[in-house]
A and B are shown apart, each in its own frame.
Chain A
């Protein structure tokens, strides 16, 4: 409750400075530019995070933790001593920039619960909705250059998992349509054809007259915070930088091709454009719903479709971020909701497996070329240095300058760690990566 009041007060002050719709549009834009200049990045600290979400759960032994029970060969990488699956030759050449955690251990073995767990660090509970770590990062770091702080592209499978839960819908992500569509645009940021900048000004003039009576009555904090949002919305819609960030047509066709002309490839490209523009957290969820859920013909689907797309888009993303100088300020995490069973089932598939799995992480000051933890012979159990979802969150928070030990007070006064680990313990950053 206090959180909300406090937050309102902040917005109230901000709105008070600008005045209730008291500015002309050029003034808005000037104010926006001034804010942008003031919000210069703190050196050496991650500003953004891209979560590459592999919906369905990738088989860890066939990707980042090669084992004898995989039908794929292990290949060497550009980092001595680290091998990954032959399915990822291009990622192998960038291993010095990414690290592998091979000892992830989580608690949910089904897609809806696993996705929720992956995003919040909590098992589902009907008496409380927990915030996703994207919402937490958006709330903690706030918007930069008026770019929405938290974007999910394209629509996700279990929407509530990505949302803000008890911290409030204002921290929910902006969700984009499929960026690989012919006519991709963001409805929220796209003015209808009939609506021009002048018309908006006219309408705001009408609004000022209509709303005067109620505004004269009382200074109400919620009104002031809506004013602040309205100002931000106008800046977003009218200022070129935000629209450009979402406009994939500004990218040279060959660069678009490089990422892959697929839902996934283009979502990765959009993620890069967004963090470049100032977005704090992008979930690139280009794979179709549960596409990595290989209960049937695991090897075939992996080799034919899933792995090549990921190898291509991920390697291009990392190189691209690096060349643009963004990799040092952008954390990249590649994971799904769990791993897959060590055994191949009679259908040639692998089933859900949360007991032990792997992920990739790098950028934003997080060390590359490192392997954290290990699994046993068949990647069935964590053999050393278990890492939990809360530990992962804590690592990312720390890299981004957010106190990983922070507590939010949930309704009813229950303290909730923003990096919640198994048994409601506090997650700890994986220090060997920082």
Chain B
């Protein structure tokens, strides 16, 4: 095993992350969860789990063998499938024994003499969720279904109660109900309630039969209607509410045939808990990896990872469930370069996935050059790097690249994509240039990212960042701006809430318009003489932001509902900018985006879609990076260096037996398609012939590389075929193979006629009279940043011998190189 101790960057700590192989028979510790729960009301039952941690770091569910005992049988009992059942007020210790270890949890019972208070959200909402009535495809759709509107997963119980008891559906543009309001309950003749007749199919129901007449759910709903269909105590201020939902145990890693009972706890505002495991609905994103019963029992199916989403009591939570591969007999000790590796390696170890070896020098060189500068290393640099014996050469290379002019060009391009630097046909060229220069200057000076964002959000006057606000020469609409900026800087997609409460998340329409109102003070001071525009905040002169349903002026409010103080309203965007860049979401979004830049996939994926139903693969790592980047003043170069110095980034792209299926744990580096512009520049670097860039309204200097040009309405055909992002919207899709590319590769000028141009590399090599072997070596170094292997040289040499002219065979070789997947991807 080669361990390159010397490669660890100075100032970055190194640690042995992965434990040496130990048979997992030994139990290291035992715990009983939930920890110290409080139960309210006699008969309340909560499942418990006994979790044993083994020497391999994995916790396993041993509840069935854990021999539970209670210290006081008067207070509670154990029964009904590993549940603690409350009997009388008091405290009791629940003990479990396993593998020579003992663990306990303290259970408190309160108000055992009172019946459990009724909660509409839990009782009625729970049935509607469990029976699938309120999914977004059915009554949970924005405007409901068949005249009944429900919130998805009963997230908005008050609205649900209103629509069930009073009838009517949600309308996007008005608070009025569309159509006649038909109550779904009939308190005079409860059995005639539509809420019962429809799902029991006593009358026709588009959604089919959901339960039968006389079933427990039917009876519970009937009972509720008989009592007058109350909302319950949650309508009062002092009411007990479900504050959050937790899924136990935390991390879930299953053996190949492992099982784990999940326990879903509703945490109430009075400090008590309720077990909603059987009332929850479960969905598994990859049904090949694991399955879940309606009672929350997870069973492993095949190695891999899947997200599961649990919806209960008006909340949704998600988590990853991992199924480990079969144990690797000689799990190697792998040296960590920095804390990134500690997290990554620890999880791989638990999953029995062995990471691939450290990348070779050539592999690393091409990868890091493309990722940091979007540029292929020239052959001389490749030879020099491969020949160097300097033990610190990788670190030195990273530093050199971070300080290179190519870095500035490339990161101006990268930031230009997300900040949407583009020429619109109707916009002044000056606007675009000012904006582009601001981005470039920000990159060149390594401006802290929070400052970049503050400048952009609060931009006023003639300065570059204010140019962002003009779409088609008019100030963009506040709701569109806030949706985009929230996605970009806070990683959340709140645009659904523009028209209606977010269907999956807790974003409400009022929150959306509260944020949008921060942009409601912008005024465009148009100078018609100079044909120029200036944006300033002038609350008294601006058009108000009107909430579309209430038709009232929306007041600026932060996400948590705090209104912007009156005295701060002269400068709303500045206040918003400070709030955004200070928010915890901001740092984690940046860390995640940076991860995606270098690994081709976010820790949360898509990178701007953080939500409760889209779990992170490595939440602790993301949190650690977020903290780190904040402590380092949002220094982008620091963050990039941290990532590219990690063992994780420097891992080889060659998978091994244990990790070839892995796409989410970074056990090996997965190929990443080059961006259209980077690919075009790379081809030009190999052929020695510059691509003709079509002149748009911006004009392009002859020397410009593709990454320097500003996309406009008239994009280049090659760039379009390879999925250039035209920046009219935030980047959505990553480059994908397509037919247009395949056609272009055979007939397009980039891959054919232009390669033969006088002065190009083919021309030069043919004139210089190089041997086949020399040509092969030079082209390999140029295109793939590596020496050809012996077999490659031999086979290509043979092919070249059978060719007609020199130019022709060199052409064929070059075509093959630039058309190869090795070339078109970063490995």
Contacts and interface: CB of A to CB of B under 8 A. Distances in A.
Contacts of B747: 187-192, 195, 237
Contacts of B817: 210
Nearest to A175: B717
Contacts of A200: 746
A411 B606 contact: yes
Contact of A129 (B729, B739, B799, B820): B729
B739 A237 contact: no
A128 B484 CA distance: 10
Contacts of A191: 746-747
Residue among A195, A209, A414 with the highest chain B CB neighbour number at 10 A = A209
A144 B672 CA distance: 31
B792 A1 contact: no
Contact of B815 (A128, A160, A203): A203
A203 B172 contact: no
Given A127-B484, A203-B812, A217-B655, A211 B729 contact: no
A169 B723 contact: yes
Contacts of B653: 217-218
B822 A126 contact: no
A1 B733 CA distance: 9
B820 A424 contact: no
B358 to A, nearest CB: 16
Contact of A169 (B483, B496, B660, B733): B733
Interface residues of B, number: 71
B504 interface: yes
A52 to B, nearest CB: 24
A45 B179 CA distance: 37
B733 A166 contact: yes
B493 interface: yes
B445 interface: no
Contacts of A220: 670-671, 821
Given A205-B799, A206-B796, A226-B737, A189 B743 contact: yes
Nearest to A202: B812
Given A127-B484, A187-B748, A188-B748, A222 B736 contact: yes
Interface in B490-508: 493, 495-496, 499, 504
B480 interface: yes
A155 B364 CA distance: 43
Interface string A200-238: 101101110111111101111011011001101110110
A199 interface: yes
Given A4-B736, A187-B748, A211-B822, A160 B726 contact: yes
B606 A230 contact: no
Contact of A126 (B484, B752, B813): B484
B434 interface: no
Contacts of B799: 202, 205-206, 209
A174 B673 CA distance: 22
A263 B238 CA distance: 74
B737 A229 contact: yes
Nearest to A234: B746
A192 B730 CA distance: 37
Contacts of A217: 653-655
Nearest to B477: A126
B822 A213 contact: yes
A174 B740 contact: yes
Nearest to B614: A413
A387 to B, nearest CB: 20
Contact of A215 (B471, B789, B821): B821
Contact of A166 (B172, B726, B732): B732
Given A127-B480, A234-B746, A207 B820 contact: yes
A412 B820 contact: no
Contact of A206 (B476, B487, B654, B816): B816
A168 B737 CA distance: 10
B816 A209 contact: yes
A407 B142 CA distance: 14
Nearest to B723: A169
Contact of B736 (A148, A170, A202, A209): A170
B748 A125 contact: no
B732 A213 contact: no
A206 B143 CA distance: 58
Interface of A: 1, 4, 125-129, 148, 159-160, 166, 168-170, 172, 174, 187-192, 194-195, 199-200, 202-203, 205-207, 209-215, 217-220, 222-223, 225-226, 229-230, 232-234, 236-237, 407, 411-415, 423-425
Given A1-B606, A225-B737, 20 more contacts: A126-B471, A126-B480, A127-B480, A127-B493, A160-B726, A169-B740, A170-B740, A187-B748, A192-B753, A203-B812, A209-B795, A211-B816, A219-B660, A222-B671, A223-B671, A225-B736, A234-B746, A236-B743, A412-B495, A414-B496
8 contacts: A4-B736, A129-B732, A148-B739, A172-B738, A214-B822, A214-B827, A218-B654, A223-B671
Give 4 closest A-B pairs by Cβ, nearest first. Answer: A206-B816, A233-B742, A226-B737, A229-B742
